[in-house]
Every structure is written in C-alpha cells, then in structure tokens.
Chains A and B, each alone.
Chain A
Amino acid sequence: MAMHEASPLPKDQRQDSPLVRRLLIAVVLAFLALFLLAPLLVIVVEALARGADAFWLALQDADVLASIRLTLLVAAIVLPINAVIGIAAAWAVAKYRFFGKSLLLTLIDLPFSVSPVIAGLIYVLLFGAQGMFGGWLQGHQISIVFALPAIVLATLFVTFPFVARELIPHMQALGNVDEEAALTLGATGWQTFVRVTLPNIKWSLLYGLLLCNARAMGEFGAVAVVSGKIRGLTTTMPLAVEILYNEYMSVAAFSVAAVLATLALVTLVVKSVLEWRYADDLAANHRPDRTRA
C-alpha cells in the first residue's frame, strides 16, 4: 500500500472504481451463497425439520451408530498407514535426487485423477466373487469385498496422495542442512529423523492428515462399490446417508449428513487456523505447481 501512496497516478487509474469493486464482491458473494451456503443451510433445516429430539433420536439408531463406529474404525486404520507411506515417499522424493522423480510424483498423484467408482471397481475385479483372486479367497473363506478389508483398501486408494503431497514441497523447501548437521554431530539416522525431521515437518504432516481424514470419513463412491452396503456391518456414514435418503427417511438422512457436514466445517476451520498460524511452514504447499490436485 505504501507503494501506492507514492505513485504519480491518480487513484482511480490504479484501482478499480468503488462501483466495480462492490459489484464484483456482490456477484462473488451471491454465487458462493447459492452454491456453498444454501446446501449447508438446507442440511441443518432438514435435519431439524422435526425438532432437535428427532435429530438426536435418528443418531441413536443402532444401524447409524454402527456406521459411525465403522467410519471411525476405517479412519483409524487408514490414517497411520497413510502417515507412514506419506513420510516415506516425502523422504525419498525431497531428500534425494534420482532419475524418474517426476514419474514417481505423477504416480503418487494418480489416484486424484481416477474416478472414485473406478477406485472401488479395481478391488472388486481383484477380490470380488468373480474377480481374479475371488475363487482362491472363497476357498480359504477370506472375505475382502463386501467386508472391512476392501473398504479400507478403497479408502487407502483415494487418500493415497494427501500426506505425501503436503510433505514433499515442505521438506524440499527445508533442505537437508538440519539433518546433515545432526549426522555430523553423531546422531544416528533414526535419531535424526525423530529429533530433527519430525519436529520440522509436524505442521504440514498434521495438515496432510487433516485433509486425509476428511476424505477418509467422507468417501462415498469408492466405498459404495466395494461395501455391499450390509446394514450395521459394512455401512459407513456416507453410505448410511444414501440408504436413509433412498428410503425417504429424510430427517434421519439429513441428521447423519449434518454430523458429516460438521466434520467438514471443523476440518475447514482447523485447516484455516493451521494456515494462518503456521503460514511459513505451509507456504510451500501453496505454490501453483503443488496445488495441483
């Protein structure tokens, strides 16, 4: 702004006129109100259509409670696995130079450009009743599809890139200097990682896990294909929303949806707070080349 004060130009030639400014802000806010705010409002209104009691009652249904438990279980399995894979991938990509790095990055990002339905389909093709390993699995009485393992696998597929793509630019920006100093001072490789690298990357790791968690708990398409939607057994919360909605149990469907929407809003708030407070740590992630989804 200080630079603007010194400019030889009259103000209206450097800035949009107040009229243009107000008009553009109004258009943007109207668009976002229509597309972002209205859906959120309708969820709350529909969930509370028969009062708060009906809302709470809907959440205490045995099948709904089972879906909440399953969703939490899937996230609890997927998050640590993704953390380990993400850290390993970021360590390999950010700390070393090697031929094929851009190919590896493309492959890590691949799940982002694959339809969630295809993410589910591929596991059915492998492990389904008529899948490639279907006969063998049936012979050994192992169920993967229409059971927890496939739900976890499909969720792992769609969340695969999240942690790595947050960590890689951050670790690249940090460089190797800290680790090399620790090694020179006699630390072992593991000590260096736990005492030097991990504290350095903790905010971007948390940021990646936050996004990963939101996707893991909210995934619908991939899980819908592999779950079989067995009530109380293989129904996650998003699937419960679909089942209840298709059965015209509107209040129940929107009640579960409201819980998921709250999770989404909490995710956005925590994400924003992380961005505002640890802007420097996370800044590397917002360069255009890395925002590619």
Chain B
Amino acid sequence: MASLHPAVLPHDGPKASGLTGRWQALVPFRPDSSVLPGFTLAMGLTLTALSLIVLIPLTALALKAGDLGFSGLWALLTTPRVLAALKLSFALSFAAALVNLLFGVLIAWVLVRYDFIGRKWVDAAIDLPFALPTAVAGIALSALYAPNGWIGAVLARYGIKIGYTPTGIWVALVFIGIPFVVRMVQPVLQEIESEIEEAAALLGASRFQTAMRVLLPAIAPAAFTGFTLAFARAVGEYGSVIFIAGNVPMVSEIAPLLIVIKLEQYDYSGAAGVGLLMLAGSFAIILLANAGLALWGRRHGHA
C-alpha cells in the first residue's frame, strides 16, 4: 500500500514533532507525511477508545492475576480441576479445529470449483455460526444431541452418547469453527489460475497428483491460518458449549466455565489466573503456529 501517497500537493510535513528525516519514521503513531487533515483527531480517538475499552481492562486482568505471583499461578495451574479444564479445552479445540481444517478445505473446493443449484445460498450459509448467537446454537445442539434428541436418540440405540459428554463439547466447537478455514481458503483457490493445473496435467500428472502436489501446497498457508483461528476461537468459546457439555468437574468442564464458577464464588484472583493461563496458552500456540508457517513459507519459496 505504498502507492497511496501521490504527491499531488506540496506537503508541509509533520508539525508537532521536532524530529526530522529518517528518525521521524521511528516515532510511534505519528504520520510521516500527508496532506489530509484530521490525523490527530482520528488517532487520538482511536487510541483513547482502544485504551479505555480494551487495553486498560486487559491490564486489570494481568494485575489481578499478578496478585497470585508465579508460585500462586503455578499452584493454580497444577490444581487437578484447573488442569483438567485447561487440558479439556485445548485438546477438544484442537480436535474440533482439525475437523474444521478437513471439511473447510473440502467445502471451499466445492464452493469455488463446482457449480450446483443453490451454491450461492450454501456459500452464504457458511457464516451462520458467526451470525447465530452462541446461546441459541447451544440449546439447539443440546436439543439435537441429548439422549432424547433427534440425533441423540438414534445414536443412543447404538450405545453412543454425545450430549452431556466431552464429545458434545467437541460437536459444539466444530459448529462454531466452520467458517474460519472456508473463508481463508476460498479466495486463494479462486486466484489459482487454471493454467497451472493444465500444465501439471500436460506434464502427465493425474488429477489426484495435481491436487496433492500443486493445489494443496498453494492453499496450505491459508488453511493453516484458518485452523489456528478456529482453534483460538474454540478455546475461548462458552455459550454454545455449556448447554451440551454436562459441565461435570474434571470430566466435561471447560476452562471458560471454570472462570465463571470462580467469579460466582468471588474468587477474583483465581478467575483472573485461569483467564491469564488461557490467554497465555492461546497466544503461545498462535505464535508457534505463525513461526511454523513462516518457516514453511521460506522452505517453499514464498512468504
């Protein structure tokens, strides 16, 4: 986006800063040059709102969890109930994001490459998990998968129980993660030119080989990013899960629910501690994923 600043008008440069030349570029949140007015107002408003609504409250979380100290946080983490909840949340989120990855790529492929009746509406429906309030999804999934529900009753005949078990949590997490991979992969697939596939075919590749060796590497980074987004969303998910989970401590109690329970017991620092551990886990995984993706990109010759 470097071409956004055509020098149509002679600019008079930044006034507020005494710094000039290349050092100017190192002062945070200060523009290097533009003729448009209103930067101070727009940036001031943005930073004020960001601080008041997002940054200062999040700092409160860190401060409150900091009351516990490192030993307190460690003690909290090694509490069997907390550890079980965190393990459950992260493991099921991973398992759900894997399903999202597999079906996300498949859905994107079908929506981009095939034409069928109602394709446009199927495409629009993919975003339903974003649009449907999580509590509504929660009671709907619970009604479907409860032992007397439409799907639950059928499965019960074969001795399979989904509602009020960890499997039920996994179903809810699959639901809320559906759009991420689809929406990441779709535009990439659209941009792959058919010549590339034709070239592969002309060189003697089978359709399957083309898909595996040519298409898959091209969409892998986008699919992987979608996977991490679905995973991060699943770790924090609350509304769609609690109705179907059963919420049995040590068995089907997710980490966000544990925060709510600790708050209800007025254990503020415990709640903040679990919150901080959850955030730390999520960010660690996102950072690792991005580092892995960067490495992968370098190996395959495109960033």
Given the interface contacts A97-B32, A153-B53, A183-B9, does A117 sit within 8 Å of B236 by beta carbon? yes
Q: Is the CB of B236 within 8 A of A125?
A: no
Q: Choose, from A1-9, A58-66, A135-143, A201-209, the stretch at the interface.
A: A1-9
Contact partners of A219 in chain B: CB under 8 A:
133
Q: Is the CB of B60 within 8 A of A14?
A: no
Q: Is the CB of A132 within 8 A of B133?
A: no
Q: Is the CB of B256 within 8 A of A221?
A: yes
Q: Is the CB of A218 within 8 A of B122?
A: no
Please report which residues of chain A, range 2-22, place their CB below 8 angstroms from some CB of chain B when the two chains form the complex.
Answer: 3-4, 7-9, 13-14, 16-17, 20-21
Contact of B136 among A43, A104, A153, A211 (CB under 8 A): A43
Listed residue (A3, A27, A91, A92) with the most chain B CB atoms within 10 angstroms of its CB: A92
Contact partners of B198 in chain A: CB under 8 A:
7, 9, 14
Given the interface contacts A85-B49, A272-B124, does A124 sit within 8 Å of B143 by beta carbon? no
Please report which residues of chain A, range 260-293, place their CB below 8 angstroms from some CB of chain B when the two chains form the complex.
Answer: 260-261, 264-265, 267-269, 271-272, 276, 286-288, 291-293
Given the interface contacts A25-B114, A88-B41, A238-B136, does A122 sit within 8 Å of B50 by beta carbon? no
Inter-chain CA distance A169–B133, complex, in Å, is: 27
Contact partners of A34 in chain B: CB under 8 A:
151
Please report which residues of chain B, range 242-267, place their CB below 8 angstroms from some CB of chain A when the two chains form the complex.
Answer: 243, 256-257, 259-260, 263, 266
Contact partners of A76 in chain B: CB under 8 A:
none
Q: Is the interface of A mostly helix, strand, loop or mixed?
A: helix
Please report the total number of A residues contacting B with Cβ < 8 Å: 114
Contact of B139 among A25, A96, A123, A257 (CB under 8 A): A257
Please report which residues of chain B, range 1-44, place their CB below 8 angstroms from some CB of chain A when the two chains form the complex.
Answer: 1-6, 8-9, 25-39, 41-43
Q: Is the CB of A91 within 8 A of B107?
A: no
Interface size class of B (residues with CB under 8 A): 35 or more
Inter-chain CA distance A98–B25, complex, in Å, is: 7
Q: Is B137 engaged at the interface, CB distance under 8 Å to the other chain?
A: yes
Inter-chain CA distance A132–B64, complex, in Å, is: 9
- CB proximity of A244 to chain B, nearest CB, Å: 9
Q: Is A29 engaged at the interface, CB distance under 8 Å to the other chain?
A: yes
**Cross-chain pairs A/B with CB under 8 angstroms, 10 sampled:** A32-B125, A43-B136, A98-B28, A113-B236, A117-B238, A122-B57, A122-B61, A125-B64, A128-B268, A176-B36
Q: Chain B interface (Cβ within 8 Å of chain A)? A: 1-6, 8-9, 25-39, 41-43, 45-46, 49-50, 53-58, 60-61, 63-64, 103, 106-107, 109-111, 113-114, 116, 120-141, 143-144, 149-151, 174-175, 178, 180, 183-184, 186-188, 194-195, 197-198, 201-202, 207, 222, 225, 229, 232-233, 235-239, 243, 256-257, 259-260, 263, 266, 268, 271-272, 275, 278-279, 282-283, 286
- Complex A-B, nearest 5 residue pairs according to Cβ-Cβ distance, in ascending order: A115-B236, A218-B133, A220-B239, A189-B37, A96-B31
